[in-house]
A and B are shown apart, each in its own frame.
Chain A
Amino acid sequence: MTAFDSTFLDLGRLDSLSYNNTIIHRIDPRAKLIVTVVFIMAVVSFPKYALTGLIPFFTFPILIAYLAELPIGFLFRKLVIVSPFALFIGIFNPFLDREVITRLGFMNITGGWISFASVILRFILTVSAALILIATTSFPGICNALDRLKVPRIFVIQLMFLYRFIFVLTEEALRMVRARRIRAVDQKHPSFKLFVQMLGLLFIRTLDRAERIYLAMQSRGFDGEVRTLKKLSFTFGDLAFVCLFLLLFAILRLTNSSQLLGNLLLKAFQ
């Protein structure tokens, strides 16, 4: 199996997860979208050196992943795959910001290391929240929610087509990769020139397909505007879900709950 094959299958797995039927999957996509966006905003809005304040936020992804019966190991692997981006963003902080802020035993800890850790924590929180949203809400459901929340139509339609054709196009690319592998027995990777040619070919095939899809749309009355017919019902449970989590985020954001908890524990043991 090539690396390409496994990426393709992973994509399919994430999609399959979103069609499960758990208490979290049944919540209205709008509710989940709002909660996730607010969660991300709350996490991102912390000041530069925040560490302790961020940790309680892990309750959200852990709780949802548990209730939605998501495979934690799989989500974690996805997280690791994108982690280089976060590492590169934060990697220079320890070198640029050398001011000692706190001490841990004998070690002086500089602001740079703290902000680096903070970047990593935020990355884990926000990306896992986004992954969990995708794994618990079908993509059409998310598009539907975006549409109902008045996100401009043109973006929603781009996303709809992206979802519909990403599988078709990756499969097309996959066939090309396999065809090359089979005939180039000793050469594990294509030469740069060949790679560019394959990419060009894929592009041309994609254009041809786009043309045919456009014809198919036209022959069914497409006139430049995509209309959709969808129903969503926002139940009391959905409302409760939104209110509960927004309240939780507000509390976690506005008070330093890990410090409070720590003080409480200290008092209890005194």
Chain B
Amino acid sequence: MSHHIIDIQDLHYRYPDGTRALNGVSMRIIHGESVGIVGANGAGKSTLLLQLSGIFLPTDGSINIGEIRLTKKTVREIRRKVGFVFQDPDDQLFMPTVFEDVAFGPLHLGWALENVEKSALKALEQVNCLHLKDRPPHKLSAGQKRAVSIASVIAMDPDILVLDEPSSNLDPRSRRQLIQLLKTFDHSKIIASHDLDMVLEVCERTIILENGRIAADGKTQELLTDEKLLEENGLEKPLSLQYQRLRIAK
């Protein structure tokens, strides 16, 4: 399944105002892998994600999704493969009803109408939100909005899911449901988050970013238990692991 490999080589990005957000990031993510991208505020997480969906194009370096290199010409093709879930569901959900929103992607990929409907309903069912299909998005709770945002992306049948802070603003139960939901997907997943406990549960691999560079890349269990490494990068050991240590000390 070579066509689902994400290959990023020496990626640089400078914002138009001169801020250097990414300074030489390289990584290779294989099919079905779940990768957590963590790092302090301003480390470059969001910029990296925006690059992956072709919203910003690299200043230098390259991104390959499968055999396709991301350029201005291939952007539409890349976006079909990469499903991007924005941080704020109010940005993501722009149609007047949930169903129309979920159907928007497939419809604009030019699918046959019956497939559009089937795919939208299936995506809503996958996130347990089928009963919300005729509601307007402003009537949903934060957890429902998040689930519908994810449905709106998986309805397009992407190979790769990219999520920016998926657990932000969720209450504990909605967060738990989100984690369970993310575990059910067999897409490749790239998740940027400050919620290290969620990363610990969902992602087997973690990449720590620091000042636009990769500070560490390895197994989540190893990186997130390395207190020295975490502290150097403005992070902290996940709460669930801190709790474990307390229990042992008793």
Q: Are A143 and B96 in contact (CB under 8 A)?
A: yes
Contact of B97 among A140, A161, A215 (CB under 8 A): A140
- Known A212-B86, A215-B55; contact A163-B136, beta-carbon cutoff 8 A: yes
Number of A-B contacts (CB under 8 A): 83
Is there an interface contact between A164 and B105, defined as CB atoms closer than 8 Å? no
A9 within 8 A of B: no
Known A221-B76, A228-B100, A230-B100; judge A213-B116 contact (CB<8 A).
no
Partner of B94, one of A140, A216, A228: A216
The one of B84, B107, B152 in contact with A229, judged by C-beta atoms closer than 8 angstroms, is B107
Is the C-beta of B113 less than 8 angstroms from some C-beta in chain A? yes
Is B13 at the interface (CB under 8 A from chain A)? no
B76 to chain A: which residues have CB within 8 Å? 221, 223
Whether the Cβ atoms of A216 and B86 lie closer than 8 Å is: yes
Assess whether A218 is in contact with B94, with CB atoms less than 8 Å apart: no
Chain B residues within 8 Å of A139, by CB: 96, 136
Bound together, the chains give a CA A92 to CA B173 distance in angstroms of: 62
Q: Are B107 and A164 in contact (CB under 8 A)?
A: no
B53 touches A164 (CB 8 A): no
A160 within 8 A of B: yes
A-side interface residues, number (CB < 8 Å): 28
Tell yes or no: B95 within 8 A of A by CB. Answer: yes
Select which of B82, B84, B94, B152 is within 8 A of A213 by beta carbon.
B94
**Does A213 lie within 8 Å of B136, measured CB to CB?**
no
A265 to chain B, nearest CB (A): 49
Partner pick for A220 among B54, B96, B116, B152, CB 8 A cutoff: B152
Question: How far apart sit A139 and B134, CA to CA, in the bound complex (Å)?
Answer: 12
State the CA gap A219–B91 with chains docked (Å): 12
Chain A contacts for B120, CB-based, 8 A: 229
Nearest-Cβ distance from residue A229 to partner chain B, whole angstroms: 5
- Whether B11 is near chain A, meaning CB under 8 Å from some CB there, is no
**B117 contacts partner chain A, Cβ-Cβ < 8 Å:** yes
* B116 nearest in chain A by CB position: A229
B156:A221 contact, CB within 8 angstroms? yes
User: Is B201's beta carbon under 8 Å from chain A?
Assistant: no
Across the interface, which residues of A come within 8 angstroms of B137, CB to CB?
164
From B54, B84, B90, B96, give the contact of A140 (CB < 8 A).
Answer: B96
**Complex alpha-carbon distance, A229 and B100, angstroms:** 7
On whether the beta carbons of B79 and A218 are closer than 8 Å, the reply is yes
A168 touches B138 (CB 8 A): yes
The verdict on B198 contacting chain A, using a C-beta distance below 8 Å, is no
- Mostly helix, strand, loop or mixed at chain B's interface? helix
Distance to closest chain B CB from A145 (angstroms): 13
Which chain B residues lie closer than 8 Å to A215 at the CB level?
A: 55, 86, 91
Residue among B93, B96, B100 having the largest count of chain A Cβ atoms under 10 Å: B96
Residue interface bits B104-144, CB-to-A below 8 A is 1, else 0: 11011100010011001000000000000000111000000
| Bound CA–CA A215/B46 (angstroms) | 14
B80 touches A164 (CB 8 A): no
Q: For residue A146, give the distance in angstroms from its CB to the closest CB of chain B.
A: 12
- B95 proximity list for chain A (CB < 8 A): 160, 164, 228
Q: Tell me the bound Cα distance from A140 to B134 in angstroms.
A: 9
A221 close to B108 (CB less than 8 A): yes
CA distance A23 to B136 in the complex (A): 21
CB proximity of A219 to chain B, nearest CB, Å: 5
Chain A 196-218: CB-based contact to B (< 8 A → 1; otherwise 0): 00000000000001001101111
| B82, B95, B109, B113 pick with most chain A CB within 10 angstroms | B95
Interface membership of B195, Cβ < 8 A:
no
Return the contact of B90 from the options A163, A168, A218, A230 (Cβ within 8 A). A168
B96 touches A160 (CB 8 A): yes
Chain A residues closer than 8 Å to B79, beta-carbon distance: 218-221
Q: Which residue of B lies closest to A211 (CB)?
A: B91
Q: Is the CB of A234 closer than 8 A to any CB of chain B?
A: no
**Interface core residue of A140, A216, A228 (most chain B CB under 10 Å):** A216
Q: What is A's interface to B at a CB cutoff of 8 Å?
A: 15, 138-140, 143, 160-161, 163-165, 167-168, 209, 212-213, 215-223, 227-230
Known pairs A139-B96, A220-B152, A222-B104; list 13 more (Cβ under 8 Å): A139-B136, A164-B93, A164-B96, A209-B90, A216-B86, A218-B79, A219-B53, A219-B84, A220-B104, A221-B76, A221-B109, A229-B100, A229-B113
A-B contact pairs, 7 of them (CB 8 A): A15-B136, A140-B96, A160-B96, A212-B91, A216-B86, A229-B100, A229-B103
| B interface list, Cβ under 8 A from A | 53-55, 76, 79-80, 82, 84, 86, 88, 90-97, 100, 103-105, 107-109, 113, 116-117, 120, 136-138, 152-153, 156
What 8 A-B pairs have minimum CB-CB distances, sorted nearest first?
A221-B108, A140-B96, A220-B105, A167-B138, A212-B91, A219-B84, A227-B107, A229-B103
